Structure 1
Amino acid sequence: MATVVELRPAVQTSPAAPRGGEAMQTALRAARLPRYTSYPTALQFDAAVGPDQAAAWMRAVPADEPVSIYVHVPFCDTLCWFCGCHTRVVNVRGPIEAYVRSLVAEIEMVAEMLGRRHRVSHLHFGGGSPTILEPGDIDLIFRTLTRAFDIGTDAEIALEIDPRDLDPARLDAWATAGVNRASLGVQDLDPEVQKAINRIQPAEATAQAVRELRARGIHAINIDLVHGLPHQTVEGVIATVDQVLTLAPDRVALFGYAHVPTLKPHQRLVPEHALPGAVERLEQAEAAARRLMAAGYAGIGLDHFARPEDSLAVAQREGRLRRNFQGYTTDTATAILGFGPSAIGDLPGGYVQNTTDVRAWREAIAAGRLGTVRGVAVTADDLLRRAVIERLMCDHAVDVAAVAAGQGRDPAELADALERLAPLEMRGVVVRDGWKLTVPAGMTPDVQRVATCFDVYLNPAVRAMVAAE
């Protein structure tokens, strides 16, 4: 949720993948397409949306609707060179203490704007490394949140974890606060790969973190892996997957590394000569997906895998899977409140994002205004297209007429999308039956191409590429 980079390639979750030149084309296309964790995408955010507009949209959140909360912690104690998140390295307490004070003030400010104590369905701590916080910080933040919001016993409280900076006191504090799902960053367990991305994390550190979490009653475990890193091979990725499977996680996310040093200058430290090519990346993703599914995990959307009994897999089977800035989710809240620098919110009028500059964010909060510096208003047309795109990304199929009817709209308003779909339909990327669209199993890596046909903001050059052979 922290990063607005939307360039990572899709994961192949079907064994029926194209090869050779076709595989190269698929990888190149996917590497440039939006991931549609929002619509309009973050590329459309601009400074026309500021703190006053964000405050007005906050006040428009329906009083009887639950909300989802994302808290961004913008600090790490070491810098991973592959990272695309908004974070900075700190090794002293001062900046963290100042951040916590401002975060508390921001939560209280937003609660006052909302005008009532909303029920919270999902609460997610991301970063950076939320586990850099001390027990006292955690206690203060949760006391503030529980005063401002109704966080029920059925709420999912998720925490992104760096296994390298855990200790018993921090774990106890998070468990006492009610965390019930933990997402552990692993990326890759090969020492050569870890050295190349400046993330030295022995397998035992991850295993110990999992044991400690489960000992404290936190049994819902997610593990994040990355393919396309320097020195990675298909065999190495499979070896990492096999080690991860011994931990029996509930979910595994398999992301593609986005090498964008012009946006993230620290990525210049990544040895470019050791990066796998497009075909190699796709083969790594395919092989990992096959191994996970052979172990009984269900493929979820582009890049997630879950045990059949996990709520994410159940939601997919029942057509209830959702997609937002946190990726695939079961969250049905109609509004997302983002707290902290760079955090993104999804409000009744549109999307909002706080400044990524920690000092500027703190100054805004101290002045009694929101830290919003960019965003985009969402139109009725956007809402219709967003709903269609979400179903495509989640289900790889959509009944456009049914979605339009659910919003009291005429599906003919999306006739432009059907025209753009024609070349993909001719090549079997999508099957159309009237207003019903299905992406066949062997074509699921191309679901983003189908989704782009509904995107009226897409760059013309990218649109031409989507339609090309």
Structure 2
Amino acid sequence: MVFLLPGVKFDLDLIQKYDTRAPRYTSYPPATELTETFTVDDFQCAINASNRRETPLSLYFHIPFCQSACYFCGCNTVITNNKNMAKPYLENLVQEIRHTADWIDTQRQVLQIHWGGGTPNYLEPDQVEFLWNKINRYFHVAKNAEVSIEINPRYINRDYIQLLRDVGFNRISFGIQDFDPQVQKAVNRIQPEAMLYNAMSWIKEAKFDSVNVDLIYGLPHQNLQTFRETLHKTMALEPDRIVVFNFAYVPWMKPVQKRISEVDLPGAREKLDILKMTIEELTTNDYLFIGMDHFAKKNDELAIAQRHGTLKRNFQGYTTHAETELFGFGATSISMLEDAYAQNFKELKDYYQAVAAGVIPTSKGIKLTKDDMIRRDVIMSIMSHFQLSKTAIERKYHINFDEYFYQELQELIPLELDGLVNVFSEAIHVTDTGRLLVRNIAVLFDSHTRNRQRQFSRSI
């Protein structure tokens, strides 16, 4: 059965055929390829090379603490009600910032800042101001920088929201997941409807430039009708962006998900119906389907960046500044430079120990080869723009595309016959149907993980 939607064609049987596991490609190579053979010295060499490129910067700060566990969560978090834990963490975070800034040419402009978690609003107001002031002390933040933060609406009030705006945040994101009380109870994330509407009203009152909300489909007890109601209530909030994640049920990787009974999860057909309905509802209500799981209003930066060909993916998802290099700070954070990725220690004790020793707390990473960089450009073009210029790759890397990717082009033939891609002499275009399976197209160009798909979530 085929359904036609604005910009997207649904063939449910075809989608089920290709609904396999694949990385989300927030990076290439994926973070699963980072190894401990990559050392602090390797990262420092990569920073030196980055300085010579003089590219602008994007900064990420990880606040790992949450007051309660959300059973769907796949993030690296520390669950505690002991607010005193934030103090030593901030002290170590600032020391890491100082140690790393000693290596970075901090005259390079910072165009983007993001605080994620965990729950960044776990911090007290004075701690928010403390960290913000330290960031501005060690880095040159552009006046027009995009400064965003994730919040948990269960632990927020009007004054806190206004503080964030006054400090300098101009973009904000919060998770709704689902409005249905039964679903919320099953995932341990109780958020009454009034609470969510209050949070949005305070955000609008504070005049943030952009508001993002997150939804998740595939959670326990969800069905087509209840999720349609969630979508309608979400659209009534009028966020600038809506991200609709596919729930990645991976209890073998994230033990907290064992608290969700698999029998309560919607079946594969129900999930596909929910996805179809979601795209139909959002795209007929002035939201553009940016890609994979992102929707944005036509005047939003994501939509504009995609039109201009400057959209990019990094460890935070889609981003509007393709020219930046990302430095991550805090436990588990990942830095993403042009030719190297580096991740900090995940455990607080290991992170604190490294910071106390006066070194950058790198635990693992990867140095990209030329082949990695070629494949990254191919995969990210497919993921961000649903098309690839063979000619551009050939000119940039001095290769013959069809010869270099002979095997991959052969493997694309069945996908082309099924209408997922169109392969031309100078380009590859993802079709409307293929947009829903873009991860499955991209994985064909992945030399690292294509044969080890068990560790990843399903693409639909």
TM-score normalised by the shorter chain: which range applies? over 0.9
Q: Residues 348 and 310 of structure 1: is their aligned pair in 2 closer, same or farther, counting only changes over 3 Å?
A: closer
Give the aligned residue type for 1:368: G
1:453 partner SS: helix
- Distance in 2 between the 1:223 and 1:115 partners? 34
Equivalence map 1:366-381=2 (5 Å)? 366-381=356-371
Which of residues 43, 46, 62 is equivalent to 1:54?
43
Give the aligned residue type for 1:320: T
**Of 402-411 and 288-297, the range deviating more from structure 2:** 402-411
- Distance in 2 between the 1:257 and 1:417 partners? 29
Question: Which residue pairs with 1:419 in the alignment?
Answer: 410
Which of residues 188, 193, 201 is equivalent to 1:211?
201
Q: Cα distance, 1:426 vs. partner?
A: 2.9
**Of 247-256 and 351-360, the range deviating more from structure 2:** 351-360
Question: Which residue pairs with 1:4 in the alignment?
Answer: none
Q: Is the 8 A contact 1:14 1:444 kept in 2?
A: no
Which of residues 5, 10, 27 is equivalent to 1:17?
10
Which of residues 237, 244, 265 is equivalent to 1:275?
265
Question: Which residue pairs with 1:312 in the alignment?
Answer: 302
- Distance in 1 between the 2:433 and 2:418 partners? 12
Question: Which residue pairs with 1:246 in the alignment?
Answer: 236
**Of 354-363 and 183-192, the range deviating more from structure 2:** 354-363
- Distance in 2 between the 1:111 and 1:173 partners? 27
Equivalence map 1:56-455=2 (5 Å)? 56-62=45-51, 64-411=54-401, 412-455=403-446
Which of residues 26, 39, 44 is equivalent to 2:18?
26
Runs of 5+ unmatched residues, structure 1: 1-11, 464-469
1:385 partner SS: helix
Give the aligned residue type for 2:123: L
- Distance in 2 between the 1:90 and 1:51 partners? 30
- Distance in 2 between the 1:169 and 1:133 partners? 14
TM-score, length-scaled by structure 2: 0.93
Give the aligned residue type for 1:415: Y
Give the aligned residue type for 2:412: L
Give the aligned residue type for 1:25: K
Q: Is the 8 A contact 1:384 1:404 kept in 2?
A: no
Which of residues 33, 42, 49 is equivalent to 1:44?
33
- Distance in 2 between the 1:426 and 1:115 partners? 50
Give the aligned residue type for 2:16: M
- Distance in 2 between the 1:453 and 1:140 partners? 46
Q: Is the 8 A contact 2:183 2:219 kept in 1?
A: yes
CA RMSD of aligned residues (A): 1.8
Q: Is residue 460 from structure 1 mapped to residue 434 from structure 2 by the alignment?
A: no
Q: Cα distance, 1:447 vs. partner?
A: 1.7
Q: Residues 146 and 335 of structure 1: is their aligned pair in 2 closer, same or farther, counting only changes over 3 Å?
A: same
Give the aligned residue type for 1:50: T
Runs of 5+ unmatched residues, structure 2: 455-460
Identity of aligned residues (%): 35
Q: Is the 8 A contact 2:311 2:322 kept in 1?
A: no
Q: Cα distance, 1:13 vs. partner?
A: 8.6
1:113 partner SS: coil
1:51-83, Cα deviation, whole Å (9 max, x unpaired): 222222123223532110111110011111110
1:74-123, Cα deviation, whole Å (9 max, x unpaired): 00111111100000112122211011001111111111111433210110
Q: Residues 116 and 313 of structure 1: is their aligned pair in 2 closer, same or farther, counting only changes over 3 Å?
A: closer
Q: Residues 23 and 387 of structure 1: is their aligned pair in 2 closer, same or farther, counting only changes over 3 Å?
A: closer
Count of aligned residue pairs for this structure pair: 448
